[in-house]
């Protein structure tokens, strides 16, 4: 009889201990969240800490140095995001509704390796390959240029490409004349700033066919074999002031 | 006879089922064999087709003909993709960091469908915690000629670092569209503009270079963007080749 009582008492003790452990576990896990609620990034329990308040965004100003078409997006410091549109150039008569949105994301200038450039085009000539260049001038004669990448349209005339390279600080230079300088957003800088973006037909034959004009001359706006084998400019930022 | 008839009549259904199963198994086996043979022949033809990567074969041919730097290694790759690798060796940092090494890997996708090339730069034993700029250049050594600023690379405390960027590499060129001119690309023949077929790394800051190399008389160079002019340091790493590396 006494053995039974001892057995019952042990069961009761074990149950109470288990309940106690359960309650203490629940209390411990809820404590850090209460502590962290007003202190973003604080790590009290040794586990991961997550920010609980939104980042403060700011809109950097470039003063008068950017074209009015450029929208500087609100972003977390030190990231800078700019957007601007491309409008039809040589394809204007046949593709008046062609549009392209360019988004340039500059990472932290102190640690990022490159900028990210996203080109998103709509209502363009379908199934065509276009080259993307950074240029000194947005309109003829375009001046110095840097070949960035390609954009290939689908059957519905839409396309997008993403490039990783130096964009906001892009410049052309010949080190045989290192003292040539020009002005960018940061002030006087080495080389000739490339602050415009344009798209070109990568083949003059394709351009002649699409634009139904056999007299279109070749241009240098593509890399690779055959000088002047590219076509005319298809899209331009169309600005006098810099866009990047 | 009656006994035989009784057996047949009683066992007709199980016998028929057994025959059906046997014939199905035989059919499946032959179908499986056929499928395996077809797959094998398809794999064989695919493998034969992939053995010939015209672009890679062409680059190797150029190398044999002395038109591509001997330091370039053309990797085996599936057709349409071309992968080259070459080393960067210390130039401005040779005395202070003689063991510095850099490996550059450039992957070109399908020339008809790819938007850009992918370039990977992987360095070791470099000056620690320093930002270097990476340029495509006309000439591997001074005066370097026309240049294109492509990316940065910041080393860690142990002097290692890597960066991956996606832009046009194999057919990179510099030009002034007012007078684009032509030049001979090692792989493409006559092209517009001036081909940029070499790569180098520069100290992004002259002050950092002067400190790291313990030489306050180093001169500023143009190998970084932004204000002020000539705020970059000397070349740190070079492909060091006369012939094109990409």
Q: Could you give the ipTM of this predicted complex?
A: 0.78
Query: Are the beta carbons of B168 and A223 separated by less than 8 Å?
Result: yes
Helices (H), chain A: 2-36, 204-211
Examine the domain organization and report whether A153 and A41 are in the same domain: no
User: What CATH number should be reported for the domain holding residue A137?
Assistant: 2.60.40
Confidence of residue A48 (pLDDT cuts 50, 70, 90): confident
Query: Are the beta carbons of B164 and A142 separated by less than 8 Å?
Result: no
Examine the domain organization and report whether A62 and A48 are in the same domain: no
Residue B129, chain A, CB below 8 Å: the answer is: no
Q: A175 to chain B: which residues are within 8 Å by CB?
A: 137, 142-147, 221-223
Q: How far is B159 from chain A (nearest CA, A)?
A: 15
Q: A176 to chain B: which residues are within 8 Å by CB?
A: 143, 145
Cα separation, B170 vs B68, whole angstroms = 12
Examine the domain organization and report whether A122 and A95 are in the same domain: yes
Query: Is the separation of the CB atoms in B198 and B142 below 8 Å?
Result: no
Q: What is the pLDDT of residue A109?
A: 81
Name the percent of chain B lying above pLDDT 70: 79
Query: Are the beta carbons of B191 and A147 separated by less than 8 Å?
Result: no
Residue B179, chain A, CB below 8 Å: the answer is: no
Express each pLDDT in B62-101 by its tens digit.
999 999 999 999 999 988 899 999 999 999 999 999 999 9
Mode of pairing for the β-strands spanning A80-88 and A115-122: unpaired
Query: Are the beta carbons of A175 and B114 separated by less than 8 Å?
Result: no
Examine the domain organization and report whether A17 and A39 are in the same domain: yes
Examine the domain organization and report whether A98 and A23 are in the same domain: no
**What number is the average pLDDT over the span B229-238?**
98
Any idea which of B21-30, B31-40, B51-60, B176-185 has the lowest mean pLDDT?
B31-40
The dihedral through the CA atoms of A206, A207, A211, A217 has a sign that is negative
Query: Are the beta carbons of A190 and B224 separated by less than 8 Å?
Result: yes
Look-up: residue for tokens 């400019």? A233
* Among the partner residues B145, B170, B178, nearest to A143 by beta-carbon distance: B178
Q: What is the pLDDT of residue A19?
A: 73
Interface test with A, best of B111, B119, B152, B189 (most A CBs within 10 A): B152
A243 belongs to a structural domain: no
Examine the domain organization and report whether A102 and A46 are in the same domain: no
Express each pLDDT in A148-200 by its tens digit.
999 999 999 999 999 999 999 999 999 999 999 999 988 999 999 999 999 99
Examine the domain organization and report whether A12 and A109 are in the same domain: no
Output the DSSP codes for B156-195: -TTS-EEEEEEE--TT-EEEETTS--EEEETTTEEEESEE
A241 belongs to a structural domain: no
Q: What is the pLDDT of residue B35?
A: 43
Express each pLDDT in B166-177 by its tens digit.
999 999 999 999
Any idea which of A61-70, A145-154, A189-198, A234-243 has the lowest mean pLDDT?
A61-70
Any idea which of A205-209, B172-176, B184-188 has the lowest mean pLDDT?
B184-188
Name which residue leads in pLDDT, B215 or B40: B215
A62 belongs to a structural domain: yes
Residue B162, chain A, CB below 8 Å: the answer is: no
Which structural domain range is residue A197 located in?
A: 57-236
Residue B32 has pLDDT above 50, yes or no: no
Query: Are the beta carbons of A186 and B192 separated by less than 8 Å?
Result: no
Q: What is the pLDDT of residue A22?
A: 63
A244 belongs to a structural domain: no
pTM for the whole structure: 0.79
Residue A181, chain B, CB below 8 Å: the answer is: yes
Q: How many domains does chain A have?
A: 2
Contacts of A130 (CB under 8 A, 6+ apart): A121, A124, A150, A151, A152, A153, A159, A199, A200, A201, A202, A234, A235
* Among the partner residues B142, B163, B221, nearest to A113 by beta-carbon distance: B163
Interface test with A, best of B226, B232, B235 (most A CBs within 10 A): B226
Query: Are the beta carbons of A224 and B171 separated by less than 8 Å?
Result: yes
Residue of B nearest to A226 (CA): B191
């Amino acid at each position: 009889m006494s053995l039974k009582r001892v057995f019952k008492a042990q069961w009761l003790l074990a149950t109470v201990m288990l309940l106690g452990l359960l309650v203490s576990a629940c209390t411990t896990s809820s404590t850090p969240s209460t502590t962290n609620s007003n202190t973003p990034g604080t790590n009290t329990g040794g586990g991961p800490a997550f920010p609980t308040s939104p980042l403060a965004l700011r809109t950097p100003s470039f003063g008068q140095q950017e074209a009015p078409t450029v929208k500087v997006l609100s972003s977390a410091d030190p990231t800078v995001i700019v957007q601007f549109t491309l409008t039809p150039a040589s394809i204007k008569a046949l593709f008046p509704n062609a549009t392209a949105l360019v988004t340039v994301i500059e990472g932290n200038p102190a640690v990022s390796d490159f900028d990210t450039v996203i080109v998103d085009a709509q209502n363009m000539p379908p199934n065509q390959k276009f080259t993307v260049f950074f240029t000194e001038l947005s309109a003829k004669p375009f001046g110095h240029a840097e070949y960035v990448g390609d954009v290939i349209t689908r059957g519905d005339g839409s396309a997008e490409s993403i490039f990783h390279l130096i964009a906001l600080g892009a410049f052309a230079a010949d080190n045989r004349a290192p003292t040539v300088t020009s002005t960018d957003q940061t002030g006087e800088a080495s080389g000739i700033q490339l602050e415009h973006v344009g798209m070109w037909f990568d083949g003059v034959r394709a351009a002649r066919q699409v634009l139904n004009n056999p007299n279109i001359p070749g241009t240098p706006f593509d890399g690779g074999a055959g000088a002047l084998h590219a076509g005319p400019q298809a899209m331009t930022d169309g600005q006098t002031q810099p866009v990047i | 006879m009656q006994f035989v008839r009784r057996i047949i009549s009683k066992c007709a259904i199980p016998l028929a089922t057994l025959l059906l199963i046997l014939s199905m198994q035989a059919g499946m086996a032959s179908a499986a064999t056929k499928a395996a043979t077809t797959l094998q022949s398809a794999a064989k033809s695919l493998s034969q087709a992939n053995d010939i990567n015209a672009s890679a074969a062409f680059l190797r041919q150029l190398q044999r003909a002395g038109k591509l730097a001997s330091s370039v290694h053309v990797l085996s790759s599936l057709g349409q993709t071309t992968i080259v690798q070459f080393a960067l060796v210390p130039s401005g940092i040779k005395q202070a960091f003689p063991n510095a090494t850099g490996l550059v890997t450039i992957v070109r996708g399908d020339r008809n469908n790819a938007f850009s090339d992918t370039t990977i730069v992987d360095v070791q034993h470099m000056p620690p915690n320093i930002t270097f700029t990476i340029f495509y250049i006309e000439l591997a050594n001074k005066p370097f000629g026309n240049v294109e600023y492509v990316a940065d690379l910041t080393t860690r405390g142990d002097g290692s670092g890597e960066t991956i960027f996606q832009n046009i590499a194999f057919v990179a060129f510099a030009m002034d569209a007012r007078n684009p001119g032509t030049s001979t690309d090692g792989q493409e023949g006559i092209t517009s503009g001036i081909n940029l077929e070499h790569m180098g790394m520069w100290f992004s800051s002259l002050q950092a270079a002067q400190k790291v190399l313990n030489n306050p008389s180093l001169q500023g160079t143009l190998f970084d963007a932004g204000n002020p002019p000539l705020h970059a340091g000397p070349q740190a790493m070079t492909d060091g080749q006369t012939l094109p590396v990409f």
